[in-house]
């Protein structure tokens, strides 16, 4: 038990390693002692006993210079070995090596307080180091750091920054040091100082690196137009067609135009880069992103996904796709619900007096998707819903015969399939999400459901489990249970998308099942199945023509139905189909039409758009 506690407490773990190291020193096994000290310094870099033991090890080895060989740097080197070697080099007076190794530790694990060490704060240290070595160390440490640094990381890096500033004060005419120091200073939020350092570097040695750093500092300081001027002047001296490194600067220029709301002005820069280097790892993805900024067409996001699938080493394409998909309906999150039952449920849930024992007797003028009842019962299980009329075409009737999830007693929907097994329900519960990074990421995330029986995946569509017992799950249950129902249905259908992937698509069970659900009764499940088909199209381009035909058929039916009755899923389904840019132009134009509010077309049974207050008066609480 004590050993487990040590692993949970870094300081206890470090103290244990130091104790073993001291025993090894006493026995003369210095290599063994060095290994334990390397483990200790990773656990707690500031433990006083650790540094005392490191000094004892150096003494036992015959001095710091001799102790170097106990912390070798050949091949793949353990982080603790690097940090211990840095302290040994400092003890030996080889300050340039010590600074470089400390910078390497910051580079690989910036959250640890490596720089909180007494020797780095020595007042005479800036006079003892080579500014070239310090500039290289700063480049190594700062390169991978976030910009700007979050508070905790800023605290761990600040002593290193203070040392660098002291060296700058002593070597203020060193262009490389000034440029590198500007980058570190910018990350710590001192943007005015970063501009000052970069301007000095640029005056001393106009060129590519000082220009890049000055532009970055100006942009961070809220002066993007000045940054553009600096960068474009540099590209005038070293065009991307003549210098490979200038290609990355041209990408920065293009993206800065995008950030300024002028993406079209950035596109020519990317065209120049791609003309010189068609396989540039950032220019192609950046061009797709800027074209999306120009016209908002999801086709450019699909192009990013296709680019990353063809070039998995181009992580920038994936990064941009995540950024542009975030919080976009279906591209990065489940669609909301607009049904009257859902709207009233939200109002009731917002009241302080509401509990899970609250019961509603709800009566609506026209039939709604049956999954609305699932959402209501999830939050308020004692409630009932009744419907006064069914519009035409009858939303209960599937577009084609196939897998059936619902049966009706008049207008009362009941699940037509058995509940899933407890294990299957729990796996779906653990997998379902209301947001996802990208469409391909959602598809990949659902692969864990591939082994579930079809019966379980169908069952969970109409017998959704309660949300997870975490902060988000409790919030969904208390305020928007419909989002959780939609998330469960979405990921259950994605699970079906992974069913028997060994079968050729055209004759596969997964195609048949998803097609049945897409063309089934009008319900949220239609959209869940549509999203699963969409995800298959995004990740398997050869399926796109078939997916287009399926989605288009449902879209056209909704367009027809909305002429004679309310179609509550028309806008969210239209948004889904627009996320499939390979659909024919006529279907895409129709989807854009459906995104607009439906025309007021009366149903023979009931008003499609009830007058204000109509639904509210029909709903009763008991």
Range in 148-157, 328-337, 496-505, 600-609 the model is least confident about: 600-609
Is the pLDDT at 614 greater than 70? The verdict is no
pLDDT-derived band at 31, boundaries 50, 70, 90: very high
* End-to-end C-alpha distance for the chain, whole angstroms: 55
Nearest partner of 540 among 464, 440, 610, judged by Cα:
440
pLDDT of amino acid 610: 33
Instruction: Over range 574-585, report the average pLDDT.
Output: 98
Indicate the burial class of 449 (C-beta count within 10 angstroms; 0-12, 13-18, 19 or more): buried
For the stretch 495-550, pLDDT in tens is 999 999 999 999 999 999 999 999 999 999 999 999 999 999 999 999 999 999 99
Find the angle CA(478)-CA(338)-CA(399) to the nearest 5 degrees: 120
Range in 48-52, 250-254, 329-333, 601-605 the model is least confident about: 601-605
Is the pLDDT at 249 greater than 50? The verdict is yes
Distance CA 440, CA 322 (A): 10
Is the pLDDT at 305 greater than 90? The verdict is yes
Dihedral (Cα; 185, 188, 192, 198), 10-degree rounding? 20
Task: Dihedral sign for Cα 420, 423, 429, 431, please.
Answer: negative
Residues 161, 185: contact at Cβ < 8 Å? yes
Distance CA 398, CA 391 (A): 14
Residues 138, 180: contact at Cβ < 8 Å? yes
Backbone angles phi, psi at 329, to 5 degrees: -55, 130
Residues 280, 297: contact at Cβ < 8 Å? no
Indicate the pairing of strand 384-387 with strand 406-409.
unpaired
- DSSP 8-state secondary structure symbol assigned to residue 168: H
pLDDT of amino acid 599: 56
Alpha helices in 28-150 (DSSP H): 30-43, 48-61, 64-67, 79-92, 95-108, 131-142
- H/E element, 620: strand 620-621
Residues with Cβ within 8 Å of 57's Cβ and at least 6 positions away in sequence, in order, are 21, 25, 30, 33, 34, 37, 67, 70
CATH 1.10.1740 fits 2-230, yes or no: no
**Hey, what are 489's tokens?**
């249905």
For the stretch 102-146, pLDDT in tens is 999 999 999 999 999 999 999 999 999 999 999 999 999 998 899
Separate counts of helices (H) and strands (E) for the chain: 31, 5
Is the pLDDT at 580 greater than 60? The verdict is yes
Instruction: Over range 316-333, report the average pLDDT.
Output: 97
Instruction: Over range 484-492, report the average pLDDT.
Output: 98
Distance CA 523, CA 368 (A): 8
Strand blocks (E) in 358-437? 360-364, 384-387, 406-409, 412-415
Nearest partner of 404 among 532, 513, 555, 524, judged by Cα:
513
- H/E element, 572: helix 570-578
Can you tell me whether residue 472 is helix, strand or coil?
Answer: helix
Can you tell me whether residue 592 is helix, strand or coil?
Answer: helix
For the stretch 59-113, pLDDT in tens is 999 999 999 999 999 999 999 999 999 999 999 999 999 999 999 999 999 999 9
pLDDT-derived band at 586, boundaries 50, 70, 90: very high
The verdict on whether omega for the bond into residue 148 sits within 30 degrees of 0, i.e. cis, is yes
Distance CA 320, CA 324 (A): 6
Distance CA 619, CA 451 (A): 43
**Hey, what are 78's tokens?**
């353990």
For the stretch 263-277, pLDDT in tens is 999 999 999 999 999
Instruction: Over range 459-485, report the average pLDDT.
Output: 97
Nearest partner of 299 among 523, 580, 503, judged by Cα:
580
Can you tell me whether residue 353 is helix, strand or coil?
Answer: coil
**Total count of residues recorded for the chain:** 622
Buried-exposed string 463-496: b where 16+ CB fall within 10 A, e elsewhere: bbbebbeeeeeeebbeebbbbbbbbbbbbbbbbb
- H/E element, 529: helix 524-539
pLDDT of amino acid 598: 56
pLDDT of amino acid 7: 55
Chain CA centroid to CA 524, Å:
26
For the stretch 422-457, pLDDT in tens is 999 999 999 999 999 999 999 999 999 999 999 999
Instruction: Over range 450-473, report the average pLDDT.
Output: 97
Instruction: Over range 334-352, report the average pLDDT.
Output: 93
Distance CA 506, CA 436 (A): 28
Strand partners, 407: 414
pLDDT of amino acid 362: 85
Instruction: Over range 408-433, report the average pLDDT.
Output: 96
Is the pLDDT at 603 greater than 80? The verdict is no
Nearest partner of 134 among 160, 108, 152, judged by Cα:
160
Question: In the chain, pLDDT over 70 holds for what percent of residues?
Answer: 95
For the stretch 374-391, pLDDT in tens is 999 999 999 999 999 999
Residues 167, 136: contact at Cβ < 8 Å? no
**Considering the chain, what is the average pLDDT of its residues?**
93
pLDDT of amino acid 361: 86
Can you tell me whether residue 384 is helix, strand or coil?
Answer: strand
Buried-exposed string 109-134: b where 16+ CB fall within 10 A, e elsewhere: ebebbbbebeebeeeebbeebebebb
> Tokens 């100082």 belong to which residue?
193
pLDDT of amino acid 600: 53
pLDDT of amino acid 359: 87
Indicate the burial class of 390 (C-beta count within 10 angstroms; 0-12, 13-18, 19 or more): buried
Is the pLDDT at 4 greater than 90? The verdict is no
pLDDT of amino acid 596: 82
Alpha helices in 148-298 (DSSP H): 151-170, 175-187, 191-204, 208-220, 224-237, 246-259, 263-276, 283-295
> Tokens 């007797």 belong to which residue?
361
Backbone angles phi, psi at 363, to 5 degrees: -130, 125
């Amino acid at each position: 038990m004590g050993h487990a506690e040590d692993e949970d407490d870094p300081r206890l773990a470090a103290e244990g390693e130091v104790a073993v190291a001291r025993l090894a020193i006493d026995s003369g096994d210095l290599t063994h002692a060095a290994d334990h000290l390397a483990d200790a310094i990773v656990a707690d870099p500031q433990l006083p006993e650790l540094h005392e033991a490191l000094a004892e090890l150096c003494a036992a080895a015959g001095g710091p210079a001799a102790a170097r060989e106990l912390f070798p740097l050949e091949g793949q080197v353990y982080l603790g070995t690097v940090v211990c070697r840095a302290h040994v080099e400092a003890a030996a007076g080889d300050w340039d090596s010590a600074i470089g190794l400390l910078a390497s530790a910051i580079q690989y694990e910036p959250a640890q307080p490596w720089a909180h060490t007494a020797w780095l704060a020595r007042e005479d240290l800036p006079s003892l180091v080579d500014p070239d070595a310090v500039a290289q160390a700063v480049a190594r440490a700062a390169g991978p750091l976030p910009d700007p640094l979050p508070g905790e990381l800023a605290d761990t890096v600040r002593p290193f920054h203070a040392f660098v500033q002291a060296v700058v004060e002593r070597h203020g005419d060193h262009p490389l040091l000034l440029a590198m120091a500007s980058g570190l200073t910018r990350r710590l939020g001192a943007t005015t100082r970063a501009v000052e350092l970069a301007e000095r570097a640029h005056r001393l040695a106009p060129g590519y690196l000082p220009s890049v750093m000055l532009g970055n500092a100006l942009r961070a300081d809220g002066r993007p137009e000045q940054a553009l001027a600096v960068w474009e002047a540099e590209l005038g001296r070293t065009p991307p067609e003549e210098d490979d490194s200038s290609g990355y600067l041209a990408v920065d220029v293009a993206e800065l135009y995008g950030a300024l709301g002028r993406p079209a002005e950035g596109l020519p820069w990317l065209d120049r880069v791609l003309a010189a280097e068609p396989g540039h790892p950032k220019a192609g993805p950046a061009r797709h992103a800027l074209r999306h900024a120009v016209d908002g067409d999801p086709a450019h996001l699909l192009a990013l996904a296709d680019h990353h699938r063809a070039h998995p080493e181009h992580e920038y394409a994936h990064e941009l796709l995540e950024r542009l998909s975030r919080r976009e309906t279906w591209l990065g999150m489940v669609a909301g619900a607009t049904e009257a039952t859902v709207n009233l449920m939200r109002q009731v849930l917002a009241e302080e007096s509401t509990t899970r024992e609250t019961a509603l007797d709800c009566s609506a003028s026209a039939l709604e998707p049956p999954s609305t009842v699932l959402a209501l019962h999830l939050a308020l299980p004692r409630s009932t819903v009744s419907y006064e009329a069914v519009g035409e075409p009858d939303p209960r009737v599937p577009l084609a015969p196939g897998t059936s999830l619902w049966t009706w007693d008049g207008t009362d929907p009941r699940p037509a399939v058995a509940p899933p097994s407890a294990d299957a329900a729990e796996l779906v519960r653990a997998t379902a999400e209301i947001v996802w990074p990208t469409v391909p990421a959602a598809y990949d995330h659902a692969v864990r459901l591939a082994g579930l029986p079809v019966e379980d995946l169908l069952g969970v569509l109409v017998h959704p489990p309660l949300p997870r017992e975490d902060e988000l799950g409790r919030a969904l249950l208390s305020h928007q249970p419909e989002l959780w129902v939609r998330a469960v249905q979405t990921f259950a259908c994605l699970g079906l998308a992974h069913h028997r992937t060994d079968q050729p698509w055209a004759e596969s069970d997964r195609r048949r099942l998803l097609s049945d659900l897409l063309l089934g009764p009008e319900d949220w499940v239609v959209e869940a199945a549509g999203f699963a088909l969409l995800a298959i199209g995004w990740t398997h381009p050869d399926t796109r023509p078939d997916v287009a035909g399926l989605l288009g058929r449902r879209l056209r039916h909704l367009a027809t139905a909305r002429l004679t009755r309310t179609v509550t899923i028309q806008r969210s389904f239209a948004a889904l189909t627009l996320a499939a840019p390979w659909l024919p132009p006529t279907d895409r134009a129709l989807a854009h039409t459906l995104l607009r509010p439906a025309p007021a077309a009366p149903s023979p049974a009931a008003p499609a758009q009830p007058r204000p207050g109509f639904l509210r008066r029909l709903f009763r609480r008991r």
